[in-house]
Amino acid sequence: MNRGPARNQGPDQMTQDLRIGVIGTGMIGQDHIRRLTHVLAGARVTGVTDTDPARATAAATKAPGARVHASAEALIAADDVDAVLICSWGPAHEAAILPALAAGKPVFCEKPLATTQEACLRIIDAEVVLGRRLIQVGYMRRYDAAYRALKATVDSGSIGAPLMFHSAHRNASVPEGLYTDDMAIADTMVHDIDVARWLLDDEVARVRVLAPKRNSVGKDLRDPIFGLLEMRGGALATVEVSVNIGYGYDIRGEISAEQGTAELAESNPLVVKGNGQFAGRVPADWRERFIAAYDAEFASWIAAARDGGATGPSAWDGYAIQAVSDAGIEAARTGETVAVTLVEKPALYA
Ligand code: NAP
């Protein structure tokens, strides 16, 4: 029985392109428009909207044929929009996702799914009523070749059962005064929380967050921080977040298992030796480090959305990560170990 709205008509019958409407044309919205227009096949941007109409108009000039819509609602309702890409700020995500689901249009939502667990659960409820997945959330590390190799190694059983995952998330710098203590968890650590759950195939049961001596570069910012995630099955994940490390954007990840270890190699493909030293490039930022992962993530979304569905990180993942993030923020403020409580997982996300 079909309990939801009729399926969207699907890709343009003439070009077979998936026609995408983009909500939010700021930094990452513009980067995804470039990706969809110049890098990937099978899709094109046909509509854009932003709270700043001038920004939307400028973004539309980068996507031939794209129309500017006055609101997210108008964009979602447009006949020439098959699927919706949400790149607005987190508190606006729910208000865009729900009407897109009601219209039966596949959604790619940049992380976070929403900024409260209650909002995440309203989104989950709407998707469950629909009876099929339409939402992919932008946790792109799962599409990075090195993380995929790490996941395949763990899943193969070749190093035995995983016991610990050590993650480090190091940014060269963050804007002083704009980046807050809580953002180290809600904006930054969420990616490590995502891959910890994915690699260990488990949910987080408890969180503790420690703050060592501050990095003086960040002045009053609580930086770095160290998160300890206890998984339900007993494995541990440790996460260092350092956001003023200076030397570049450095992502580390290692699984320690019963019979071996596996770790992400350097992302730099070239090592130069001279003057008694060896050297290689460290990525400048997350765009450089994960550019191929974003491309793979969107190729996967386009394929699934053209079939009227969704794959990859789900609304459930978005909700579970939000719950861990909330617990982490409380743990950082109180110094306590904070339990993560999740609702029962709907069968749709099994
Ligand atoms: P940004 O540069 O501030 O862009 C967001 C844009 O959305 C702004 O132009 C903003 O306009 C607009 N906007 C806000 N609310 C809107 C609404 N209700 N309808 C239409 N437009 C709206 O932010 P960003 O860095 O691109 O980040 C956007 C999202 O992507 C965030 O959720 C962020 O966490 C996520 N992100 C994910 C990754 C990743 O690694 N996956 C990386 C970067 C960002 P105003 O400026 O007028 O508010």
Give DSSP secondary structure letters for 260-310.
-EEEPPPS----EEETTEEE-PPPSSHHHHHHHHHHHHHHHHHHHHHTT--
Alpha-carbon dihedral sign for residues 305, 308, 312, 314: positive
Confidence check: pLDDT of 10 > 80: no
- Cα(135)–Cα(130) distance, rounded to whole angstroms? 11
Q: pLDDT tens digits, residue range 116-144? A: 999 999 999 999 999 999 999 999 999 99
Confidence check: pLDDT of 9 > 60: no
The predicted structure's pLDDT at residue 16: 86
Confidence check: pLDDT of 71 > 60: yes
The best mutation among 87, 141, 187, 193 to test binding of ligand 1, ranked by most ligand atoms within 8 Å of the C-beta, falls on 87
**Residue 181 region, left (φ>0) first, then alpha (ψ -120 to 50), else beta?**
alpha
**Residue 186 region, left (φ>0) first, then alpha (ψ -120 to 50), else beta?**
alpha
CB distance 285 to ligand 1 below 6 Å? no
Q: For residue 56, which atom of ligand 1 is closest to its CA?
A: 9
- Write the CA distances from 6 to 3, 284, 301, integer angstroms: 9, 45, 20
CB distance 55 to ligand 1 below 6 Å? yes
- Cα(76)–Cα(103) distance, rounded to whole angstroms? 8
191 sits in which H/E element = helix 190-200
The predicted structure's pLDDT at residue 5: 43
Name which residue sits closest to atom 20 of ligand 1, judged by CA: 50
- What ranges make up the beta strands (E) of 9-109? 18-23, 43-49, 67-68, 83-86, 107-109
Q: For residue 294, which atom of ligand 1 is closest to its CA?
A: 41
Q: How far is CA 77 from the centre of its chain?
A: 26
The larger pLDDT score, comparing residue 2 to residue 195, is at: 195
**Distance, CA 300 to ligand 1 centroid (Å)?**
22
Would you state the torsion angle of the CA atoms of residues 294, 24, 348, 12, taken in this order, to the nearest 10 degrees?
A: -80
Structural domains of the chain in order of their starting residue, each with its CATH number: 11-140+294-314 (3.40.50.720), 142-285+318-349 (3.30.360.10)
pLDDT confidence band for 6 (50 / 70 / 90): very low
The larger pLDDT score, comparing residue 8 to residue 64, is at: 64
Q: pLDDT tens digits, residue range 18-53? A: 999 999 999 999 999 999 999 999 999 999 999 999
Mean of pLDDT values over 221-246: 98
160's CB contacts (< 8 A; 6+ apart) are 257, 258, 259, 260
Confidence check: pLDDT of 2 > 50: no
Name which residue sits closest to atom 44 of ligand 1, judged by CA: 28
Q: How far is CA 60 from the centre of its chain?
A: 24
CB distance 92 to ligand 1 below 6 Å? yes
Q: pLDDT tens digits, residue range 323-344? A: 999 999 999 999 999 999 999 9
**Distance, CA 56 to ligand 1 centroid (Å)?**
12
- Cα(4)–Cα(1) distance, rounded to whole angstroms? 9
